[in-house]
Each structure stands twice: as C-alpha cells, then as structure tokens.
Amino acid sequence: MVRVIEIGHIVAGPTAGLIFSDLGFEVIKVERPGRGDIARELEGSSAGTFPFFNRNKRSVEIDLRQASGRDEFLELVRGSDVVIDNLGPGAMDALGLGYRKLREVNPRIIYLSIKGYGSGPYEARKSLDFPIEVHSGLAYMTGLNGRPLRVGASLVDMGAALFGVIGVLAALMERERTGEGKFVESALFETAMFFVGQHIATYQVTGREVPPLNEVGFSWGVYDFFRTSDGVDVFVAVTTDEQWKAFCREVAPELDREEYKTNAMRHRLRGELIPRISEIVASMPSSELSSRLARANVGFAELRRPWDLLVDEHARSKMVEVEYGGRSILVPGIPIGGSRPGRAPALGEGNGMMGEGKSRAGNV
C-alpha cells in the first residue's frame, strides 16, 4: 500500500489527502499536539469541514518545532511514498523539513507542495481561496458589475488539490521508471487562473472586455430560470436548434415559429421569448415540466440547496457515511467512485503507529 503523509489544514491539503484515501492509499495526517487541524475548531457554516475532508485517515500528533518531533517525522518519511504540504510558504524549509532534506532521508519520496502562489514573483505571499478568486478575476466573473462575489464552495482550494494529485500520480508512474522521487508544485492562483482561462482568451480574440457572466448571461437564447405553478424554480438549457424543436413539441407548441428557428434568432428576441416561456411554465406543476423536459432530452434542473441533496435519490446514492462526534453523517464521495464509509479520526488516535513500517517506501 502506498503511504501518504499529509501536513495540511482546512481544505487544500486535506482534499488531496482525502482523494488519496479514497483511491486506497494509506493517509497519515500529521497534526499539532493538543489542537490539530484548524478545521477541528470551525463552527457555524464551516462545522462540517473536518469530517468531510478527513475521513479514513490516521491522525498522529507531532510537534515539528521540537527536535524530537522532527526526528520522529523524518522516521515516518523513511517509510512513506508521498508528502503533502499546504502550510505557509517556506514553513517546512524553516523547520529543516523541506523537500531537499526529505529526499536525503528517502530519495524516492514525492513531495506535493500546495501554496497560494506557485514559484515566481509572488511565491512568498500568503493567501487563501477568496483573495485568490479576487486576484485571478474569478470573483469578478462570478459577481455583478461593481460587486465581485465568491463562488459557493472552496473550489480554488479543491481545484489546486486535484491538480496536485494528478501531478503526484504522474510522478509515481515516473518513479517506476527512474526509481527517484520528485517535487510537485500546485498553487491556488495558478488553479484559479486556469479556471478563467477561457475569458482571458475571449478578451484577446474579441478585443473587448468580458462582462461578469451573471450580468449579461450566456449566448443561448433559452438558458434561464422559470417558475412553475407550485413555486419551483427550474433552470432550462436549450443549446441547439434540435433541442428547441423538441422543447416546443413537449412544452410550448405555440412557440414553434419561424422567428425563433435558430439560436441567434432566439437570443436576439430573448426580451419577448423568455416572458412567453415563463407564462407557459407558470401553468405547469414542476413534476409535469420535468417529465416533459426529460422526454425532450433538454437539460434542466430544479433549484436545490446543498442539504436538499440528502433526499435526492440520485445524490444520496453517491454519498457515504462518516462517523464524527459520536454520530453518523452522509457526505459525497469522490466523483470517480471508490469512496468508502469510514470515520474522521480523533486527534492523535494513531500515535501508537509511529514505529510501524519504517521500510515501506517504494511500494509502487
């Protein structure tokens, strides 16, 4: 089994560790004695952070500020394959535990560094998800004119972790050929910049600034919310002319007219078309509209809140149980499958395993 050491907190590092855990790797979470991951202390709207990102890991307490703790950590590295570090810039190097030191102890170690900014002019700048969204333009594209907004999840943190995991998996494959470890870098800013790449490209192709997406909408004629007779908001996405024909056949036969034949025509006439569709939809209950749209093979979705997914038959089938704080909760598994039920570890519950498997590196 491949062993991963996670020195992470809150979201980015723990996301990477979670993915490795669900892929079947052994993940050992190194935490500060007495306190552990900052996420253990979060309350209110962030109270579920720790159990979601940390299931099926083993927690060990190591004080890296002490010489004995650093020795203990290096002993753990000798028997491991991957280290995840999402502490502040330079933190591990300041402790004498950066990649150069770790590869002396274990030349096969793969070191994943997740930081706010990758190598370059801003590499020493500390940052977080939302400031990165602001710097990259993601908050601008998400919000409205004069009102940049954060996206509704820690997507930049999680995206940086995903790219980091991809880099580690590639490095593990490369290690099979070379026998050597590697330094893998992933960063929040570079991740967010990639996310807005299409807008950077569009600006150069058109020579015009791109307004926030929620300010001007998209290029489709019918790509909007409509309220049903029972008060449910349903988003309908008609993206091809063939879909429009099917939509008219199933939902609005009276709109199958020459002036709405193409998407360009529908987009140009949105001011009159959307209100007409709204009137038609307002006469239908959501169950009927959903059935009609499904028959038409048109993309649609009823507006939901995240916790509504606990009673959604499709979403619930993709969730796993996690034991945390004396109770069992449901959380989404990773999208590629392989997620296992389990538990979020108590702080330091794996302290007794520190002497295990000192010669385990190179298992893949």
Task: Give, as one character, the DSSP assignment of residue 144.
Answer: B
For the record, the structure tokens of 184 come out as: 């893998």
- Interatomic CA distance for residues 97 and 74, integer angstroms: 8
CB 6 within 8 A of CB 14: yes
Q: Which helix (H) or strand (E) holds 178?
A: helix 155-178
Q: Which residues pair with 352 in a beta bridge?
A: none
- Interatomic CA distance for residues 62 and 18, integer angstroms: 20
Length, in residues, of the chain: 364
- Interatomic CA distance for residues 133 and 141, integer angstroms: 10
Phi-psi region of 13 (alpha: psi -120 to 50; beta: other; left: phi over 0): alpha
Task: Measure the CA dihedral 178/182/188/189, to 10°.
Answer: -80
Q: Name the 3-class secondary structure at 345.
A: coil
CB 57 within 8 A of CB 84: no
Distance of CA 118 to the CA centre of its chain: 18
- Interatomic CA distance for residues 150 and 266, integer angstroms: 31
Q: Please give the C-alpha separations between residue 71 and each of 6, 26, 67, 247, 362, in angstroms, as whole numbers.
A: 17, 21, 6, 67, 21
Q: Which residues pair with 187 in a beta bridge?
A: 115
Instruction: Kindly list the catalytic residues.
Output: 157
Q: Please give the C-alpha separations between residue 28 and each of 63, 91, 356, in angstroms, as whole numbers.
A: 15, 19, 12
